[in-house]
Structure 1
Amino acid sequence: MRTTSSVIVGREDEIGLLSGALNAAGQRSGRAVFLIGEAGIGKSRLVGECAYQAYGFGLPVLRGRATSTGLVVPFRPLIEALSSRFRATGPPTDPELDPYRPALARLVPEWRGSVPPGYPETVIELAEALLRLLAVLGREQGCVLLLEDLHDTDTETVAVVEYLVDNVADLPVLLVGTLRPEPGPALDLVRATEQRQTATVSELRPLGPESVREMTAICLETHPDELPQVVHRRLTERAGGNPYLVEVLLADMLDSGALRKTDGRWGASDDLIAGVPTTIVRSWARRIDQLDDQVRDLLLTAATLGNQFSVAVLQLITGHDDRTLFSHLRSAVEANVIVPDGAAPDRYTFRHALTAEALIASLAPAERAAVARRAALAIEEGDPDPTDDRRQLVAALRLAAGDRAGAALQYAEAGRRTLAAGAFNSAVVLLERAHGLAADADRPAVSESLLVAQAESGELDRAFALAATLSPVRPGTETAERRIELHTRLAWAAVMAERGPEALLQVRTVQALLGAEPRPEQRAALAVVEGHLALLPGEGGREQLADAYRTARRAAEIAEDRGLPVVACQAWQLLALLSRERGFDEADACLERMLAVAESHALPVWRVEALLRLGANAFMRSGDATRLEAAREAAGALGAIVLTQTVDGMLAMNAIMRGRWDTARDIIGRSLEASARLRNLAAHRYLLLASATLAAHRGRRRDMERELARFRQVGGEESFLVPLQLGLCRGVGALLDEDADRARTELAAALAWEERHPSFFYLSGRYGLYPLLAVLAGDAGREEYEAAVAAPAAALAWNQQFLRLTEAVLLGREGDHEGAVRAVRAAGRTAETFPLAHHLGLRLVADAALLQGWGDPVAWLRTAEEFFYAAEIQPVAGACRASLRQAGVSVAQHRGGWDRIPAPLRTHGVTPREYEVFVLLADRPGNQQIAQRLCISPRTVEKHMASLLGKTGRSDRAALCALSAELAAELATGSG
């Protein structure tokens, strides 16, 4: 007789909730739903119903479950969920997933062999990659991700789930999670999402008496009215509305014969109440007592392994051969105690979590400990090099046997191996377990590993606090050697997080441990940290840079000599920054050396770091983004999402400076919010600044201020980016508002900041735009100009265009008008890459040229006016028109047909009506013919002809006709 209900009873509201969420996912309105309830309350039944409905709609279903064995297995439910889908269909091949495959390789085994190893992606990067994968899977009709028993899952999975919940709203994805109301990270997450209203939470209540009656009747295949009243009362009292307990107690009634069917009707014996076990534990004990002793022993051993267990591990413990083992397992399946785990063919699952717990609870404490001890010894003896999973299992068995110190050693080793694999959050969990269980003699070593794991997982405050509790050690001891490496690593983490005081404290701790004669490699590793520390705002100063350069170069040499490639890359990266003040050729040489070290020692992350910085230097030197694009491709191939977003910020800024505003907007759009989701603070700040700079360079001050407010909220005004914010963003924005005084104020503030702090952002105006404005205002002369030109940063294309214009103004002021014109032409050639800066420069020097009487300021103003009019930057366009009127020349009206006029004619002020006359001159017609063609009077044609001769500088009508024919030919060939 079946004792399980084939129909879900009493859950109409929950089924309606899931149905509505499925429909929403199919309409690209993602949802997250969590089902909370005690064991056996019906969570898995609802998940099964959701999967059934999704299959009916044709939606892809991915289903995974956390392990209940107490093992910390990073991402287990996610791996199982993806495997449940891709085992049959294979993983998707969509090109848009290419940048994310390296990260997803941790979850999709099929992709592990096709991606380069070496990039330790963060949990958030992995979460973003999974989000993109789900979006691809659900692109047609939506998809469903079902994650069960989240109360048992690892912290990495909880972090991924939180990320998915926060970002699933606009995607065709339904996320359903189940968990018990047990304190822990998963429940904390669910309560937080409920409070933020980013997820729907349904708490499953016990079934009411009528639902219990209906469910019992379904199990017994009878009508509810025919159910014996005593049976219904007993189940209602004992099961407490828990569907699983209803089924178990009902099965016990049937097994004991207290409930039987006679003549087609169900009846209960007189001893039903007395004979039914008073607890679920006794119920299960009675049921397995009816099995063979060997099957019973097998189940008790399996129960010590948790709700799910591996066949291989069970065989290792019991020593059974395959035939005997599977014979016993079949008996247990037939007894409805266990079932094969459909998601993992080599595993079995107890029919319910309460089943394993009840079997263990049926043993006396001493017997329970003995079973656990035998199991632990069997695994240790049979597997001398266990996997991390088995090591954790041995630890749990040791703990169940009362061996706390033995359990601590196993957890500690599993934690260290998990840390080395890059699963930092899981490593923290395991090492914290070890720390709490360890004997006094073992605890310091566990503490050292734990604080490294905390630092790597981003829990720097906890790591620093734990480091402060470490007992003092004497320099020169073996423990001191470990501590030196430990505190150096903490110092590096702190300096990379721009946490100067904490980094300095760790540096001083290392210095105290090094003693009078530190080994060169120890000193080298610390010197690199000290050099980076000197660059942090508020921690160092410009006077320290020379010392930092010398020590960094020595550190690079020592690191390469002593076989420390990571330290060498760190040192060359620092040297590349410091060398910029000596010249960008030297900086590039440092980066090429860094690249060579990374490639020769197979350090893919450091290789991408080197390519990124080489691309950044090329961008600053010439405006060319080719190397940056190559760096982004390399980062994408590695799956380095954080580095990819860093490159995107630079590519966006490059596109802004080159006037490719649509491209910049697209780049910012693809990475800005994603960088916030990934908590990639450095890239997010830069992208926000790029967004503000884009608004500034388009003359949209209100949008600029809005983006700068966001930049300020994430600490941008306490970062390295302050000079760029003041100069490249606010300073240029002020000039496009025609507010030169405010522009000089902003640029002066950038210079003042750079005087107080080390800065390696050379596009903020110090070496280009600021000298030009100062010379134009009469606040600076040739001496200041020569000082700016002498700096290596003067060779950068963005700065060079402004410095050449500065030279033009000085030469014009000194009477060298030909030299001034040559300087303007040279600036134009340099500025070809930067159209906005080029036209802004023309507008700035034109007034000085008009006043001093050199060059062709009218043509420059017309060119600039045309550009800024087309760019809809009205303040500058209006100022150009005003200067033209003051120069006594006509100002063209922007009427229909203006865009059809070739640039050489537009810059000379040719109007659309004049251009209509000019076009006809290619065939050399007379005035009367032109008048007839254009329906105007011959006198009007004569006026247009006179104006054209004056504006084009042609001496007579024949020359004007020749120019018309020449331009017509150029336009016909596409070269005009």
Structure 2
Amino acid sequence: MLTTSPVLVGRDEELALVEAGLRAARQGAGSAVFLLGDAGIGKSRLASECAFRAVASGLAVLRGRSSATGAAMPFRPIAEALLSLFRVGGPPQDPELAPYRSALGGLVPEWRGATPPDGSTSLVETAEAVLRLLAAVSREPSSRQEQGCLLVIEDLHDADAETLSVIEYLVDNLAGLPVFLLVTLRPGAGPGDDLVRAAGRRRSAVLAELRPLTPDQVRLVAESCLGAGAGQLPQPVTDKLVQDSEGNPFVVEELLSGMVAANVLRGGADGWRVNGDLTIDVPATVVHSVAQRVGRLSPVGRELLHSAAVLGRRFALPVLKLVTGLDDRSLLVHLRAGIDAQLISPSGPVADWYEFRHALTTEALLADLLPGERAAIAARAADAVEQAYPGLPGDWCQQVAVLRLAAGDTRGAALLFAQAGQAALRDGAVTSAVSLLEHAHTLMAEAGPSEDAGSVLERLIYTLVETGRLDRALRLAETLPLTGPGALDDARAAALHTRLAWGAVSALRHEEAAARVALVRGLLGRFDSSSITPALDVVEANLVLTGIGEPGGLLGGSAGGSPGDSQGGGAGAGVGVGAGREAGGDRTSQAELLARRAADDAERAGLPEVACQALQFLALLERRHGFDRADACLERLLALATEHGLTTWRLDALLRLGANEFMRNGTSEQLARAHRAAVELGAIVLGHTAEATMASQAVFRGEYATARALTDRCAGATARLRHVDNHQYVLLTRAALAAHQGRRREMEQELAEFYRWDGNRSLKMPLVFGHCRAMCSLLEEDRVQALVELDNARAWEDENPTVFYFNGRYGLGPLLQVLTRRTTEAEHELVLADPGTGLLWNRQFERLAYAVHQGRAGRGEAAMRAVAQAREASAPFLMARHLGLRLVAEAALADGWGDPVPWLRTAEEYFHGAGVPAVASACRDLLRRAGATVPQRRSGSDRVPPELRRQGLTAREYEVLLLLGPRLGNQEIAGRLYISPRTVEKHVASLLTKTGQAHRAALCDYAARFGSVDSDPSGAG
């Protein structure tokens, strides 16, 4: 089994450094590099890679290593390096080395004389002899041409003083020699470290300190060791390796080897799978290293380190004093011994905090304790921490939980983990909160039935719902005992199932929500339900709105889900509910009544979270009265959430305010900030909501690559999480992405997937008609079908609550209706009365519709003012801006107003470049009808600058214009372009007309702005 990575990972910078040294040596320029790093960080691996590359490029390689075992032998690594090369072929016979053989006799056995030389050889002489020997080795034996050599010395921290002197001499005198010196060592106090630091300061050598691998690099190392493909390593294995190795590749390999040897990581035909508990024994190599250093300490020093290890990787000196009972002086003496042994070190800038230098050092020390010893120390330590830090603030709660567990107090540990989980949730660390509470629940199950077990499970279910893990919450709810220890009373059970119902509503699982509501109804009357009914009101109001409940027959509800609504509704709950729509209007009014009652009752009862739910829903309903009122609800929600520390609700409010901001003015800055906050806090569902909403907004802005990237990023996650609301919205956004580019087949594929996710039962159906299919039909120049789709959207909204504002009713629909003479100016005034008409996306089309009414009535100036207003509103919406110009230009041509030709040129240029041929062709047809020149779109036309394309210049005319810049005559231009002078004259006349220049001289000046072509005419276009 391969447990060593065959590839070097994460050392690109260091490899570039050594490669530069090898290259310089081949060119006769000597240099030195010191690789510093902790044990196992990869120094030897880099040295081996360097040696391999040196051999491959023809350099001679000498390699030696210092040793920490036994007595230090003078020059050991130097002698080993020389012998590594000379063992087979013998030492070089270069005559220039003759004077130095005596000095080298102690290093090269073949050069030792029968009689030792008189006197002793100085270190400088020996160092110079080594330098001359390296120079000789670097020369090709036959041609005596320099080929270079590499000297590698490893573990310089264990080197003898003589070797250090030679290395120092070499470093200072390599310049001009074809020798590359590579030295490895561990950092820390000592003569070796002093030497390399001094060399670095003198700039005689380069110091490269190896950093720990990143999590991604750890994964790559593990995959390489196992021969696994990218992404095939189970994520729990990666997490374990990242956590325990702290980026040390040697430890990664050791841990991985232990997992495979213990058969907890098993490979097969279908890849690698976890087969048991990933917690394995500390690698023996690490244990041995730590044991050696600990064994050199006094018994009291060893006891202190064992106590510190039980406290954890990082420990506070006051607590350690309480655990050990040592006085200040003794404590510091033994602490210093641990520091000198390189086992512990000060921890950051905070006084009295220390830490073990490596996580596995802690585990190695713990492995040296008997279970009873460890439990006794853990119990003393837990008592000491609780005494020193009453209430266990900050991280102390979790640390004491670990100690209680080590002491054998499983139930006490579980309660502390649950307490830490609740604190994490209050701080907004939702992922950590779930993890801590899950751990507490598991420990409680091991401890056996108790009242505490029910409370921990109850808290876990609440937290799972809050963090979007509804399926897990529902499964755990079924395990709650109905009687006996841990059973909830009626009030707590009703509150919990009401919360689950809210979670189901948020995920658009309305049948599940209705089932939970029915369960709660069965409990009402057995207790004072004043604290329950506001929350139930919010849930049931949502059921009324969606048609699950009957108006007046339920207590109330909320539209949960995502706040985003760049399309007037958002990912499910971006609901902008319209008024006066028969059945839909009745349900909307009833839902609003119930939600308002819930908000008021919740605030009076001191239920801030329920008040937030109700205010969220009211904000959606208030849109039909205007976005100022909607934002007022959201601001109140934000204030409540901030006041009571409800992080998720605060993010929800920010996301919804960001969605409203886009609908008002087309900007997304606030939404982007809210998204970053959601990601940082681990709010999974809200993070996906924000991404889906940002993707939808990117579609509106015509930023299709951004929209695709965002939907690709969150589509898989929303599907896996089974968050139907978000996933439906992602699928619709992808359908709109295709529709807004005129790609019908792709649009229909995405819509088919949307239907597979029960999309035809959602309030998003108007998006299918008005936002996707109608827009796609317009880009196919099928105006009749576009109107059919808009009528379908309107018919659906007449029977259901109107939940989206960008489906044509307030913008695109009125424009198409006036173009087809299906509406009057008086009827248009009714459209203006609805707040939805003022939203920027709708306003651009509504203003164009108004312009058509005005132009048709002969009020040209009013029509042009409306067009200017439309173009201002359309600034954020790239595709829609040009589509509007194409549509209004046709009416302007027919009714004789405005400036349709430049509008059509601009639109034609955009749709030609965007690959929407039907609209581009329609623009050209209208230009012909207007008697304007039409772009030929011949080869080379794309090189014509946009400004000139808008003026109607062809590719050939652009070529002529460029040659006018240097003021060439017609004859000369004709010769360059291989056309007749008469043709040039015609092109010049056309250019004067199209550019509006008064005469040829002015045209030449104008041409100079665009450069010139003074070579082959093939480059002119």
Shorter-normalised TM-score: what interval?
0.5 to 0.7
CA contact (8 A) 1:672 1:687 kept: no
- Give the aligned partner of residue 731 of structure 1: 774
CA contact (8 A) 1:922 1:964 kept: no
Deviation at 1:874, TM superposition (A): 1.9
Report whether the alignment pairs 1:673 with 2:682.
no
- Give the aligned partner of residue 77 of structure 1: none
Report whether the alignment pairs 1:491 with 2:531.
no
- Give the aligned partner of residue 1017 of structure 2: none
Report whether the alignment pairs 1:463 with 2:434.
no
- Give the aligned partner of residue 515 of structure 2: 505
CA contact (8 A) 1:58 1:141 kept: no
- Partners in 2 of 1:925 and 1:349 — Cα distance? 79
Deviations 1:136-167 (A, max 9, x none): 986999678999xxxxxxxxx9967668999x
Secondary structure, aligned partner of 1:581: helix
- Partners in 2 of 1:806 and 1:175 — Cα distance? 70
CA contact (8 A) 2:764 2:803 kept: no
- Partners in 1 of 2:241 and 2:215 — Cα distance? 21
CA contact (8 A) 1:165 1:199 kept: no
Deviation at 1:764, TM superposition (A): 2.7
- Give the aligned partner of residue 449 of structure 1: 459
Q: Which amino acid aligns with 2:401?
A: Q
Deviation at 1:903, TM superposition (A): 7.4
From the superposition, tell whether residues 195 and 782 of structure 1 become closer, same or farther in structure 2 (CA, over 3 Å): farther
From the superposition, tell whether residues 570 and 790 of structure 1 become closer, same or farther in structure 2 (CA, over 3 Å): same
- Partners in 2 of 1:507 and 1:875 — Cα distance? 53
Question: Which one has more relative contact order, counting CA pairs under 8 Å at least 6 apart?
Answer: 1
Deviation at 1:581, TM superposition (A): 1.2
- Partners in 1 of 2:842 and 2:922 — Cα distance? 24
- Partners in 1 of 2:806 and 2:965 — Cα distance? 47
Q: Which amino acid aligns with 2:921?
A: G
Deviations 1:470-509 (A, max 9, x none): 56799xx994454454334333333333332333334444
- Partners in 2 of 1:175 and 1:534 — Cα distance? 59
CA contact (8 A) 2:464 2:473 kept: yes
Deviations 1:543-570 (A, max 9, x none): 3322332333344445555555444443
Q: Which amino acid aligns with 1:452?
A: Y
Runs of 5+ consecutive residues of structure 2 not aligned to the other structure: 17-37, 51-209, 223-232, 348-352, 550-558, 560-583, 1012-1021
Report whether the alignment pairs 1:392 with 2:429.
no
Q: Which amino acid aligns with 2:937?
A: H
- Give the aligned partner of residue 590 of structure 1: 633
CA contact (8 A) 1:142 1:173 kept: no
Secondary structure, aligned partner of 1:14: coil
Q: TM-score, normalised by structure 2?
A: 0.57
- Partners in 2 of 1:412 and 1:654 — Cα distance? 40
From the superposition, tell whether residues 968 and 903 of structure 1 become closer, same or farther in structure 2 (CA, over 3 Å): farther
Report whether the alignment pairs 1:658 with 2:667.
no
From the superposition, tell whether residues 245 and 864 of structure 1 become closer, same or farther in structure 2 (CA, over 3 Å): closer
- Give the aligned partner of residue 14 of structure 1: 3
- Give the aligned partner of residue 955 of structure 1: none
Q: Which amino acid aligns with 2:833?
A: A
- Partners in 2 of 1:416 and 1:595 — Cα distance? 21
- Partners in 2 of 1:642 and 1:407 — Cα distance? 30
- Partners in 1 of 2:271 and 2:783 — Cα distance? 48
- Partners in 2 of 1:726 and 1:845 — Cα distance? 22
- Partners in 2 of 1:25 and 1:790 — Cα distance? 65
Q: Which amino acid aligns with 1:669?
A: A
CA contact (8 A) 1:312 1:346 kept: no
Q: Which amino acid aligns with 1:14?
A: T
From the superposition, tell whether residues 635 and 453 of structure 1 become closer, same or farther in structure 2 (CA, over 3 Å): closer
Residue range with higher mean Cα deviation, 917-926 or 560-569: 917-926
- Give the aligned partner of residue 589 of structure 2: 546
CA contact (8 A) 1:304 1:360 kept: no
CA contact (8 A) 2:234 2:273 kept: no
CA contact (8 A) 1:379 1:394 kept: no
CA contact (8 A) 2:421 2:436 kept: yes
- Give the aligned partner of residue 433 of structure 1: 443
Q: Which amino acid aligns with 1:489?
A: R
- Give the aligned partner of residue 622 of structure 2: 579
- Partners in 2 of 1:945 and 1:357 — Cα distance? 92
Which residue of 613, 620, 627 corresponds with 2:663? Answer: 620
- Partners in 1 of 2:670 and 2:276 — Cα distance? 52
CA contact (8 A) 1:455 1:493 kept: yes
- Partners in 2 of 1:607 and 1:203 — Cα distance? 39
CA contact (8 A) 1:695 1:701 kept: yes
Secondary structure, aligned partner of 2:841: helix
Taking the TM superposition and a 5 Å limit, the aligned residue runs for 1:620-639 are 620-628=663-671, 631=674
- Partners in 1 of 2:512 and 2:309 — Cα distance? 47
- Partners in 1 of 2:219 and 2:335 — Cα distance? 33
- Give the aligned partner of residue 849 of structure 2: 806
- Give the aligned partner of residue 837 of structure 2: 794
Runs of 5+ consecutive residues of structure 1 not aligned to the other structure: 1-10, 29-46, 60-134, 148-156, 207-241, 252-286, 953-958
Larger helix fraction of residues: 1
From the superposition, tell whether residues 532 and 297 of structure 1 become closer, same or farther in structure 2 (CA, over 3 Å): same
Identity of aligned residues (%): 41
Which residue of 937, 941, 945 corresponds with 1:894? Answer: 937
Aligned-residue Cα RMSD (Å) equals: 6.6
- Partners in 2 of 1:851 and 1:243 — Cα distance? 88
Secondary structure, aligned partner of 2:615: helix
- Partners in 2 of 1:543 and 1:300 — Cα distance? 72
- Give the aligned partner of residue 961 of structure 1: 998
Taking the TM superposition and a 5 Å limit, the aligned residue runs for 1:94-173 are none
CA contact (8 A) 1:652 1:690 kept: yes
Q: Which amino acid aligns with 2:713?
A: E
- Partners in 2 of 1:947 and 1:722 — Cα distance? 52
CA contact (8 A) 2:659 2:671 kept: yes
- Partners in 1 of 2:854 and 2:416 — Cα distance? 78
Q: Which amino acid aligns with 2:499?
A: R
Deviations 1:202-241 (A, max 9, x none): 999x9xxxxxxxxxxxxxxxxxxxxxxxxxxxxxxxxxxx
Q: TM-score, normalised by structure 1?
A: 0.59
- Give the aligned partner of residue 217 of structure 1: none
Deviation at 1:583, TM superposition (A): 1.5
Secondary structure, aligned partner of 1:799: helix
- Partners in 2 of 1:326 and 1:942 — Cα distance? 98
Deviation at 1:52, TM superposition (A): 5.7
Equivalenced residue count is 756
Deviation at 1:810, TM superposition (A): 5.3
Deviations 1:560-596 (A, max 9, x none): 5555544444333322211111112222232333344
Report whether the alignment pairs 1:868 with 2:911.
yes
Deviations 1:609-652 (A, max 9, x none): 43432332232223244544565576688787875665454444
CA contact (8 A) 1:692 1:708 kept: yes
Report whether the alignment pairs 1:881 with 2:924.
yes
Secondary structure, aligned partner of 2:628: helix
Residue range with higher mean Cα deviation, 424-433 or 50-59: 50-59
Q: Which amino acid aligns with 1:673?
A: R
- Partners in 2 of 1:644 and 1:469 — Cα distance? 30
From the superposition, tell whether residues 925 and 482 of structure 1 become closer, same or farther in structure 2 (CA, over 3 Å): same
From the superposition, tell whether residues 578 and 967 of structure 1 become closer, same or farther in structure 2 (CA, over 3 Å): farther
- Give the aligned partner of residue 117 of structure 1: none
Deviations 1:295-323 (A, max 9, x none): 99999999999999999888767767678
